[in-house]
Structure 1
């Protein structure tokens, strides 16, 4: 495709006035770094990020598999949903904080801040004497994982043009292609001895891997940008919109956590504390909305971004994608452990199948985006093929005496192909539609809303799981005491002889409940496909985004013309 091709902008808003505003310190620093340093620095920086990606990949490939064992040791396997909801909410709320810190100070300072929290989380989780301590450690780990992922995305967006961005992001995910196989041996050896070492070893590995990247970036920034006086704490908190984020965090915590905790409360949903949490959470959400629209001096995002059609489509797509994803993903590892006869190593491989698929196809999609300079057609393709994968998951719940391994693997591969195209297209669209000054905030707020979608999905799954699985287990097992022990510990089920009456009964109970969850995921994914058809299809040029620099003529289309144009010219 010709390099001289010019695409009219699909956005009716221009950002010329933004160049006159004083840029945040972190944004100015990274622009100074980019302008003054040569390609050798960029290469070293990418290599440093690649080392970070290796650690992040090994962490997420292994620690996820320890959660069923850790919660089962505390006889609280059903609290896996509570743990996931807490991680999603805290991980979501912390991202705008981290993005603002990186804007106000530097990317390196934000990396160091996250590193400290990351290590604290591993230490607490490894030493946790109770389920409460384990949850606290997991929350700190979630903050670390969210922060590293966010800062890597921001730094790549800072340093690469649109046409190369997806390719670089795809390459940074390739460590999963190796860690997926290594993780199987690590998890098998650690779960047969002590799962705590699975967390403890990262308290040593993580700083060793992240500090070189922090030192490299900070040294370069100091060489080309003079030091400024640090912002006062009060002003910094106002600029970060701390009050708004606290209101949002409390709102969704109080509204979503009762969905996983009500089974432990006396009287269930009739317990006054459950009702009070929901009511107070709703009040906090209303207060947050009023504060952000009319009161906040520094809202999370300026109205020029919040009213951006492209950004709105990205939020809806990723919100539904995450919500539907957790419908099938939250208890999927437990489902596999029960319904399939696998060793711990092979079970870990299966848990990482979709991750490996995302990383493999991420490189392919990145090259396709680079070659065609378009992403929408691949996003629509991804949303469509994901429906086929989820349909296979629904089919697996209707197979007699449990699904076959082939059906599960095929479903995971197809789902990963679809998820990758959809997610990468959304990230590119969101980053292309805003000026550089709003880039970090846009990435973080998109992650915030999508993580809230994940929290909503987990809350719904928790309610379905805790209200249906005990009943199904009792119905199929025939003994309420044994059924309760199976409900609270998946490791007790996996220890049952394959083919025994109780194992078959547990398989049927899990299939009954997961059928509801997989069908819900399939329905929500249809919404993603519909909204994707209305997504903007920016031309991926050599700039950091598609709205700064040379302004292109604006034009508007009716919704049906977007569909006609996409059918006639899918690569435009």
Structure 2
């Protein structure tokens, strides 16, 4: 078997002959022109060649400084994300549209799902630093639009642009860590971007409270348009310094030059990004999921033409077109079907999908439930909603240190799946109440949920990354995060469907049962802006008692949906392979499980005739 050329072996003469065994492309080219076999060599993407060359000059000093700057930018967008998750409640409430929070979140999730593959291809094509520039641009523009918005439509538009930026930064730090760490160390270092939650979980509530009572939610969001660009500069600088050193050592010589004004370059990029597939994916998710969040809880709206037509086009037109395009026509499909032959990748993506789907069923309206049903302050409610992130990071770092020596992950993930079910069982029991025991029960449930999350999300990502070669690590990481985002969209859709179709009915029923003649007006006020309602009707008033009871019941429905879905999540954990992690960046035999005998014959035919220039 021919030995692939590595980045450290690059010279000006052989830099174009890096072998990349991709049997889908290899088989396609051989079937079309068998005579090509003797010339078949696959170049690694220029961005991958660059990062391999740059990583080869990383000293321990470079790595620790790099990880420090990764932490800084992660702290920045992590604190912003935590605060913005809370502040958007008040922003939408100010428009009397709090129930549309799921719609905004679903739109963001759809954008994230479609954006991840694009960023992965950009990083492989143009280099990792290119993501940073593009992501910061969208982050700033989106933040400004949201902060200046005066309607739900404008706020949602800003959320789309902001999410494009957030998605890019999130993928960038994960890919950089994957580029520069070994398999056995990756889990520990993968939690560096999540480490800010150890601090933010406790301080974000105070910051949100101070901003809401002072400058307002507009400045609480808008200030990040200044902070994010400033804190991203150090990370950009360290990447440029490493690139300069690699260039000085001659490691970048021979890597294909890219003319950004070349039409053929952009046509090739559009082909590899699969723009048609991305458009169909976004259309499918939008048409299939958004109607459930827009029905607004009334049976009459489900029978309206816009809702019916949208659902029909989503499930009967967009979804089949997406599947047919990806299977039959896409040269570089968003979903690499060959890789799905590996059960670790298939089950890993399933876990990513179900993890966020389950979490958002209980988490989407948790903050509102804490304010109303538990009668908690802004600070207390924000801290409770952050418990999951805090505990999962603590468990994740601990698990990462253990895995460095144990070198196994599967059974930790299986344990996490079982704890997820236990947590939802506790959440069904502790779904509201003003007694200390009710609140303690909720905190205990969120702690168990956080322990489960720490054993599931990043450990599964590490196993999925270990199942592919370095050339496809950015793509598989993007696919994993994209699936995560689709799970967010599904979870938000389920939560919104339950909330909007159940809460108005329960509010009116309870208020009528309590004897209020203006039950419809009271229900509309509690549903549209519960944060004002709880101030007007404190604990102990008949109106508040009736409303609290409605919130208890709907939160119970949400948690029942979550526990049912958690069973699927638990089952998927058993499908992962129990591989032994090594000190390599990736396994030499990665992707072997995805090859058919036809693929192997194609590779052998190409390698037996391989001519290295």
TM-score (norm 1): 0.90
Within 5 Å, give how 1:203-218 maps onto structure 2: 203-218=225-240
Matches of 1:520 and 1:266, distance apart in 2: 21
**1:67 pairs with one of 81, 85, 88:** 88
Helix, strand or coil at the partner of 2:191: helix
**Does structure 1 residue 352 correspond to structure 2 residue 356?**
no
| Alignment match of 1:306 (pick from 334, 340, 351) | 340
**Are 1:257 and 2:290 counterparts?**
yes
Deviation at 1:217, TM superposition (A): 0.7
1:23 aligned counterpart, secondary structure: coil
Whole-Å separation in 1 of the counterparts to 2:369 and 2:436: 10
**Equivalent residues in 2 for 1:74-223 (5 A)?**
74-193=95-214, 194-223=216-245
Q: In the alignment, which residue of structure 2 is the partner of 1:12? A: none
Aligned partner of residue 341 in structure 1, secondary structure: coil
Is the alpha carbon distance of 1:378 and 1:550 closer, same or farther for their aligned partners in structure 2, counting shifts above 3 Å?
Answer: closer
User: Within 2, Cα distance between the matches of 1:498 and 1:551?
Assistant: 62
Identify unmatched segments of 5+ residues in structure 1. 1-14, 555-572
Confirm or deny: 8 A CA contact 1:433 1:547 kept in the other structure: no
Equivalent in the alignment of 2:573: 532
Q: 1:22 aligns with which of 27, 43, 52?
A: 43
Query: In the alignment, which of 255, 268, 283 is matched to residue 301 of structure 2?
Result: 268
Deviation, 1:173, is 2.2
CA distance, structure 1, for counterparts of residue 591 and residue 285 of structure 2:
41
Describe the superposition over 1:477-526 as per-residue Cα deviations: whole angstroms up to 9, x where unpaired: 23011101111112123313122222221211011111111011011111
* Structure 2 partner of 1:279: 312
Please give the alpha-carbon distance, in whole angstroms, between the structure 1 residues aligned to 2:436 and 2:152.
31
Of the three residues 254, 267, 284, the one matched with 1:234 is: 267
Kept in 1, the 8 Å contact 2:410–2:578? The answer is yes
Q: How does 1:369-518 map to 2 (within 5 A)?
A: 369-397=403-431, 404-478=438-512, 479-495=519-535, 496-518=537-559
CA contact (8 A) 1:16 1:548 kept: no
**Rg bigger for which structure?**
2
Per-residue displacement from partner, 1:214-271 (whole Å, max 9, x unpaired)?
Answer: 1221332244225722362222111111110111001110111110112289931111
Indicate which of 545, 554, 562 corresponds to 2:586. 545
1:228–1:68 CA distance, 2 compared to 1 (3 A): same
CA distance in 2, matches of 1:262, 1:416: 32
Indicate the RMSD between aligned Cα atoms, in angstroms: 2.2
CA spacing shift, 1:53–1:550, aligned 2, 3 Å: closer
1:59 CA drift (Å): 1.0
* TM-score where L is the length of structure 2: 0.84
2:8 match: none
Could you tell me how far apart the structure 1 residues matched to 2:282 and 2:453 are? 27
Worse-matched range after superposition: 303-312 or 193-202: 303-312
1:38 maps to 59
The answer (yes or no) to whether the contact 1:539–1:546 under 8 Å persists in 2 is no
Change (3 A) 1:281 1:402: farther
Q: Is the 8 A contact 1:96 1:444 kept in 2?
A: yes
For the residue of structure 1 that corresponds to 2:56, the secondary structure is helix
Give the whole-Å Cα distance in 1 for the aligned partners of 2:432 and 2:365: 17
What is the rounded CA distance, in whole Å, between the counterparts of 1:513 and 1:297 in structure 2? 46
The CA deviation string for residues 72-122 of structure 1, in whole angstroms up to 9 with x for no partner, is 000001101111110111111101001110110010011110010011111
343, 346, 350: which is aligned to 1:316?
350
Deviation at 1:18, TM superposition (A): 4.8
Residues 265 and 119 (structure 1 numbering): CA distance in 2 closer, same or farther, change over 3 Å? farther
The equivalent of 2:7 in structure 1 is none
SS in 1 for 2:538: coil
Q: Is the 8 A contact 1:432 1:547 kept in 2?
A: no
Task: State the alpha-carbon separation in 1 of the partners of residues 369 and 163 from structure 2.
Answer: 23
CA distance change for structure 1 residues 400 and 40 in 2, over 3 Å: closer, same or farther? closer
Q: Quote the offset at 1:206 in angstroms.
A: 0.4
Report Cα offsets for 1:18-76 as digits up to 9, x if no partner: 59521011111110011233222222211111111110221122111101111100000
